[in-house]
């Protein structure tokens, strides 16, 4: 079909532009008619262009044909327009009415709870004004009014400001608004650091906030790269390599000073377990389907933002100590080379999930051997008598106590699993037990620490 024929069809169907579907149908019919007429003329001896020109002339002038088509289809256009309007205004309200008549609000609330696994259980009640959010909110508020308790429905910052000296509420606020925040630029870091200033007043003995300051300052001050080790004959990978690039030494020094401040403090607590226990208690009993699903959603949405930061902090501490050792500052390097000891013990004491256990194990299995290599290079192998090491080329003491790291990791796993049963399972089953003390956990790691002191 030529360009002239296309233009002709556009002109003659211009009166049907308000109904695109009808216009396409009429255009297809006219195009077929013109093609048939042109084919008949070509069989009579007319050329290609001439046959199409005669076919268009036989159909009529564009203005005349367009007028006839508009008049002939006027009733059809009106009918289709009314149908479209009716569907537009009646379909959505009708669907809502049918959904409300056929739906079970308990299931709506349960599904709403499950959909919040990735973003906080109660987030769906406040996030947006969509119909789905409204239905979920109605289901939860009608069937589960106790979920409007402040500890469940109030944003973390507002909850903390309602009791400014409450360490659990402050820890929850830090988990949501600080530890989960960015910090890639200076403008991002300043509000996060400012939010941690109250920690010295609210929870001065807690190392967590010093570690978070160090982690925030580290961003942009250095970049760490790790590579996996080669596989040995047994198929297991050997120790990998850690390298870094220092971009801002002054800020890195400041971050490491905060790290040392945290290592000197007696405890590390995130209060995630305590906050979860408060929320589970506020939800009441779990005798029916909906409360059970809500508990699952609540537990699954618990945030653990510190773990990646602590893992990176342990790596940077080793690299910083190794750099100080290369600069001839061996005495200053030792606290950083041994930082993994305190970090693993502190984190293990606050561990209550399997992911916590895995991070403790990763630190205990990767950093000690690298620190041992640095001690070997400095000729201080005797100080590593309690330091686990898997490298075959290291000192006898280092190899002899490689099993200590493995036993400590196993103890960590057993400790975490036992604490999960003691703190999470009972509330979900409706029992009333207090949280176990965290002061005397993981004997293997504690013996490792005490032997270093002796």
Question: How far apart, in Å, are the Cα atoms of 342 and each of 22, 251, 272, 399?
Answer: 77, 23, 20, 21
Distances (CA, A) of 121 to 148, 295, 300: 12, 9, 9
Whether 70 and 210 share a structural domain? no
Q: Is residue 195 part of a domain?
A: no
Residues 367 and 219 in one domain: yes
248 and 388 assigned to the same domain:
yes
**Quick one: pLDDT band at residue 286, thresholds 50, 70, 90?**
confident
Over residues 128-147, the pLDDT tens digits come to 445 455 555 555 555 556 66
Most confident of 47-51, 61-65, 320-324, 425-429: 320-324
DSSP letters, 51-102, are HHHHHHHHH--HHHHHHHHHHHTHHHHHHHHHHHHHHHHHHHHHHHHHHHHH
- Enter the DSSP assignment of 267: B
Single out the residue in 77, 100, 118 at which a domain terminates. 77
pLDDT cut 90: percent of the chain above it: 33
pLDDT of residue 192: 92
Number of alpha carbons in the 13 Å side-chain half-sphere of residue 261: 17
Mean pLDDT for 105-113 is 57
- CA distances in angstroms from 346 to 179, 206, 266, 313, 315, listed in the order given: 18, 10, 8, 14, 16
Q: Does residue 246 form part of some domain?
A: yes
For residue 89, tell me if it sits in a domain.
no
- Residue 243 clears pLDDT 70, i.e. is over it: yes
In this predicted structure, what is the pLDDT of residue 379?
81
Structure tokens at 420: 């999960």
pLDDT of res. 418? 53
Residue 280 in domain: no
pLDDT band at 114 (very low <50, low <70, confident <90, very high): low
Average pLDDT of the residues in 377-381: 75
Residue 447: per-residue pLDDT: 43
Look at residue 160 and tell me whether its pLDDT is greater than 70.
yes
Q: Give the span between the Cα atoms of 271 and 176, in whole angstroms.
A: 12
Name, in order, each residue with C-beta under 8 angstroms of 398's C-beta and a sequence gap of 6 or more: 369, 372, 376, 381, 384, 387, 388, 389, 391
Of 72-86, 194-208, 282-296, 368-382, which gets the smallest average pLDDT? 72-86
Q: Could you tell me which residue, 246 or 182, shows the higher pLDDT?
A: 246
Label residue 434 by pLDDT band (50, 70, 90). very low
- pLDDT for 206-231, tens place per residue? 999 999 999 999 988 999 998 877 77
pLDDT class of 287 with cuts at 50, 70, 90: confident
Give the H or E element holding residue 223: strand 222-227
Split at pLDDT 50, 70, 90, the class of 202 is very high
Query: Is residue 241, in this structure, part of any structural domain at all?
Result: yes
pLDDT given for residue 103 in this prediction: 55
Query: Given this model, what pLDDT does residue 116 score?
Result: 53
312, 223 Cβ separation under 8 angstroms: no
* In the predicted structure, residue 289 carries a pLDDT above the cut 80: no
pLDDT at residue 393 tops 70: no
The overall average pLDDT reported for the chain is: 76
Name the residue range of residue 41's domain.
Answer: 3-77
Per the domain annotation, does 325 fall within a domain? Answer: yes
Is residue 109 domain-resident? Answer: no
State the total domains in the chain.
2
Whether pLDDT at 435 is above 70: no
pLDDT of residue 421: 44
Q: Of 14, 43, 77, which marks where a domain is finished?
A: 77
Half-sphere exposure of 103 (CA within 13 A, CB side): 18
Over 70: is that where the pLDDT of 157 sits? yes
pLDDT tens-digit profile of 244-285?
999 999 999 999 999 999 999 999 999 999 999 999 998 888
Q: Which of 36, 57, 77 is the last residue of a domain?
A: 77
Q: For residue 178, is it within any domain? A: no
Q: Are residues 213 and 70 in the same domain?
A: no
**How does pLDDT run across 436-454, given as a tens digit for each residue?**
333 333 334 444 444 444 4
Q: How far apart are CA 98 and CA 202, in angstroms?
A: 53
C-alpha R_g of the chain:
36
Which position has the higher pLDDT, 382 or 305? 305
């Amino acid at each position: 079909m030529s360009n002239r024929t296309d233009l002709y069809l556009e002109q003659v169907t211009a009166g049907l532009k308000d109904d695109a579907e009808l216009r396409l149908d009429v255009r297809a019919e006219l195009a077929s008619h013109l093609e048939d007429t042109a084919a008949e003329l070509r069989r009579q001896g007319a050329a290609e262009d001439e046959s199409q020109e005669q076919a268009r002339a036989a159909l009529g002038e564009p203005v005349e044909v367009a007028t006839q088509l508009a008049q002939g289809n006027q009733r059809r256009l009106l009918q289709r327009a009314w149908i479209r309007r009716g569907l537009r205004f009646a379909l959505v309200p009708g669907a809502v009415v049918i959904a409300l008549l056929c739906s079970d609000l308990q299931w709506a609330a349960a599904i709403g709870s499950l959909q919040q696994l990735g973003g906080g259980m109660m987030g769906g009640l406040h996030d947006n004004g969509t119909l789905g959010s409204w239905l979920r909110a109605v289901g939860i508020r009608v069937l589960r009014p106790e979920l409007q308790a402040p500890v469940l429905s109030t944003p973390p910052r507002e909850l903390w400001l309602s009791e400014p000296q409450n360490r659990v509420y402050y820890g929850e606020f830090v988990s949501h608004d600080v530890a989960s925040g960015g910090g890639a630029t200076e403008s991002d870091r300043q509000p996060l650091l400012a939010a941690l200033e109250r920690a010295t007043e609210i929870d001065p003995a807690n190392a967590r906030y010093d570690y978070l300051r160090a982690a925030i300052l580290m961003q942009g001050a250095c970049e760490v790269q790790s590579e996996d080790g080669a596989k040995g004959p047994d198929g297991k990978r050997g120790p990998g390599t850690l390298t870094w690039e220092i971009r801002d030494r002054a800020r890195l020094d400041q971050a490491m000073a905060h790290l040392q401040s945290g290592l000197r403090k007696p405890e590390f607590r995130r209060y995630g377990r305590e906050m979860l226990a408060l929320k589970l208690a506020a939800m009441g009993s779990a005798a029916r389907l909906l409360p059970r699903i809500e508990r699952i959603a609540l537990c699954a949405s618990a945030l653990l933002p510190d773990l990646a930061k602590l893992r990176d902090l342990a790596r940077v501490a080793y690299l910083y100590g190794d750099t100080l050792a290369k600069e001839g500052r061996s005495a200053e390097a030792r606290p950083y080379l041994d930082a993994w000891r305190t970090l693993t013990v502190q984190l293990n004491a606050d561990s209550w999930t399997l992911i916590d256990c895995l991070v403790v194990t990763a630190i205990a299995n990767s950093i000690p051997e690298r620190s041992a290599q640095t001690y070997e290079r400095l000729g201080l192998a005797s100080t590593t008598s309690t330091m686990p090491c898997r490298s075959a080329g290291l000192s006898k003491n280092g190899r002899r106590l490689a099993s200590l790291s493995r036993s400590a990791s196993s103890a960590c796993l057993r400790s975490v699993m036992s604490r999960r049963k003691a703190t999470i399972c009972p509330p979900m089953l409706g029992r009333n037990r207090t949280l176990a003390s965290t002061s005397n956990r993981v004997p293997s790691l504690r013996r490792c620490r005490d032997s270093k002191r002796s």
